Amino acid sequence: MGSSAASAGAESGLRRVIKVGTSLLRGSPERPTAAVIADLAASFSRQQRQGDRLALVTSGAVGLGCEALRFSKRPTEVVALQAAAAVGQGRLMALYQDAFAVRGLAVAQVLLTRSDLASRRRYQNACRTLEQLLEWGVLPVVNENDTLATDELRFGDNDTLSALVAVAIGADELVLLTDVDRLYSGNPRTDADASPIEEVRDLAELERLSHVAEGGGQWGTGGMTTKLAAARIATSSGIRVRLADGRDPAVLDALFAGEKVGTVFQPSSTPLADRKSWLAHALLVKGSVRVDAGAERALLQQGASLLAVGIRAVEGHFSRRDAVRVLASDGRELGRGLSTLSSEELRQIMGLSSEEVRRRLGAVGDAVVHRDQLVLTCLAS
């Protein structure tokens, strides 16, 4: 991300990631999938000519595969979904290649799993590949590698993937195109009192809306919860997020022009740095440690490392250098980081002084999670 940000500063335009979901690519009799993609190509080409660097995160491989196989309904078994994605991914890329070639744009397929971004080395490799494509003026078309991804290696949704891609390329803006016109205070389909929200100004307001979505019945079980999670990832890394109705073929041009459509999530005024953002959002968390009140104060107020003496419980099974959540005694997440010790080792020495830890485990460092390998994720930070 560091090199991306430097390159972005030298460009005349902005860096933007646009995410298009299955609900839009499914199309309709009035506007089939090919027409949706043709409209995207037209908007993208106009904006690239103005100097913007764009990346596209797309869904749709499984749906197109099911259509090609003439399935009456979407499979539920993982292996069937993976096979359908294998059929549909080629069809999806062919549609993008044909539509963008007409506009004189080259596209590149980039397929990712969670493990590609959870490894620091592979994450940096992905950043460099995306950076090179942008420098060449090639449009990265990013999708989750549904053919290979297992449940534990999935992003879970392409909203999360789009936010991580935006962070990886140092984007200025993430655009989430969906099938509603903006964010509402509740589910507008079932709540007559739901009011439109044009702007979300900070992480505290976003956190409150996320809690409403999680407990909000149908609104919480659909796509809005994942979009709010994506907005949290992006805005905490200094990226503006725009959410708008992708069913309108003119909406992308309006967003590119800066018009007030949909909902805008303003970026944090104190964004996370490159490595801290990766620690907070890209890692696969393997377990957690609960800390006492003294350790919580030291972490939040003094920027300290986490020592064994402050740990009261260890949850899950993890190895050295795995990612863990750091939890308060009441279960609130305080942060995430890389553990220097395994869960088995920590269970032997939690609550002990550094001197006693060395007597039991030998030559190990004082910090269980060093402050350089820890990012605070609670609002109090």
Count of domains observed in the chain: 2
The answer to whether 73 is a known ligand-binding residue is: no
Tell whether the model's pLDDT for residue 319 goes beyond 60.
yes
The answer to whether 143 is a known ligand-binding residue is: no
The answer to whether 158 is a known ligand-binding residue is: yes
- pLDDT of res. 328: 96
Phi, psi (deg, nearest 5) at residue 229: -65, -40
Helix (H) or strand (E) holding 295: helix 293-302
Query: Domain end: 246, 273, 300, which one?
Result: 273
On whether residue 381 sits in a domain, the answer given is no
- pLDDT of res. 299: 96
- Mean pLDDT, residues 125-143: 96
Tell whether the model's pLDDT for residue 381 goes beyond 60.
no
Query: Domain end: 226, 248, 273, which one?
Result: 273
**Between residues 311 and 1, which one has the greater pLDDT?**
311
On whether residue 278 sits in a domain, the answer given is no
On whether residue 52 sits in a domain, the answer given is yes
- pLDDT of res. 155: 63
On whether residue 251 sits in a domain, the answer given is yes
244 with 367, same domain?
A: no
64 with 186, same domain?
A: yes
299 with 267, same domain?
A: no
Tell whether the model's pLDDT for residue 154 goes beyond 80.
no
Residue 177, CA atoms < 13 Å, CB-side half-sphere: 28
Q: How many Cβ atoms are within 10 Å of 101's Cβ, its own excluded? A: 12
Query: Domain end: 273, 304, 335, which one?
Result: 273
Both tokens of 254, joined, read 């309006």
Q: Are 263 and 271 in contact (CB under 8 A)?
A: no
- pLDDT of res. 81: 87
**pLDDT confidence tier of residue 222, bands split at 50, 70 and 90:** very low
d(CA 163, CA 234): 5
Contacts with 170 (C-beta within 8 Å, 6 or more apart), sequence order: 1, 2, 4, 5, 7, 8, 15
**Between residues 51 and 214, which one has the greater pLDDT?**
51
In angstroms, how far is the first alpha carbon of the chain from the final one? 23
258 with 328, same domain?
A: no
- Mean pLDDT, residues 238-245: 96
211 with 109, same domain?
A: yes
On whether residue 134 sits in a domain, the answer given is yes
The answer to whether 59 is a known ligand-binding residue is: yes
The answer to whether 286 is a known ligand-binding residue is: no
Going from the C-alpha of 60 to that of each of 45, 232, 279, the distances in angstroms are 22, 24, 29
Mean pLDDT score of the chain: 87
**pLDDT confidence tier of residue 1, bands split at 50, 70 and 90:** very low
pLDDT for 59-71, tens place per residue? 888 888 998 999 9
The answer to whether 178 is a known ligand-binding residue is: yes
The answer to whether 227 is a known ligand-binding residue is: yes
- pLDDT of res. 339: 97
On whether residue 213 sits in a domain, the answer given is yes
The answer to whether 88 is a known ligand-binding residue is: no
Within the chain, what is the greatest distance between any pair of CA atoms? 73
Tell whether the model's pLDDT for residue 218 goes beyond 50.
no
230 with 337, same domain?
A: no
> Residue 288 is part of a domain; what is its CATH number?
2.30.130.10
Tell whether the model's pLDDT for residue 207 goes beyond 90.
no
209 with 61, same domain?
A: yes
d(CA 161, CA 164): 5
221 with 309, same domain?
A: no
**pLDDT confidence tier of residue 122, bands split at 50, 70 and 90:** very high
**pLDDT confidence tier of residue 214, bands split at 50, 70 and 90:** low
**pLDDT confidence tier of residue 181, bands split at 50, 70 and 90:** confident
d(CA 45, CA 344): 55
Q: How many Cβ atoms are within 10 Å of 91's Cβ, its own excluded? A: 16
d(CA 204, CA 375): 18
On whether residue 175 sits in a domain, the answer given is yes
Contacts with 271 (C-beta within 8 Å, 6 or more apart), sequence order: 236, 237, 238, 239, 277
The answer to whether 181 is a known ligand-binding residue is: no
30 with 178, same domain?
A: yes
According to the per-residue pLDDT averaged within each range, which of 16-30, 110-124, 126-140 is highest? 126-140
Going from the C-alpha of 176 to that of each of 134, 179, 254, 374, the distances in angstroms are 20, 10, 14, 29
pLDDT for 9-45, tens place per residue? 345 689 999 999 888 888 778 888 899 999 999 999 9
70 with 120, same domain?
A: yes
The answer to whether 191 is a known ligand-binding residue is: no
Range of the domain at 134: 2-273
- Mean pLDDT, residues 97-113: 95
- pLDDT of res. 209: 77
294 with 267, same domain?
A: no
The answer to whether 322 is a known ligand-binding residue is: no
Residue 309, CA atoms < 13 Å, CB-side half-sphere: 11
The answer to whether 223 is a known ligand-binding residue is: yes
Q: pTM of the entire structure?
A: 0.85
pLDDT for 359-376, tens place per residue? 999 888 889 999 999 999
DSSP string, 63-82: HHHHHHTT-SS---SHHHHH
The answer to whether 270 is a known ligand-binding residue is: no
Phi, psi (deg, nearest 5) at residue 254: -65, -40
> Residue 77 is part of a domain; what is its CATH number?
3.40.1160.10
d(CA 115, CA 121): 11
- pLDDT of res. 190: 76
Tell whether the model's pLDDT for residue 264 goes beyond 70.
yes
61 with 176, same domain?
A: yes
On whether residue 55 sits in a domain, the answer given is yes
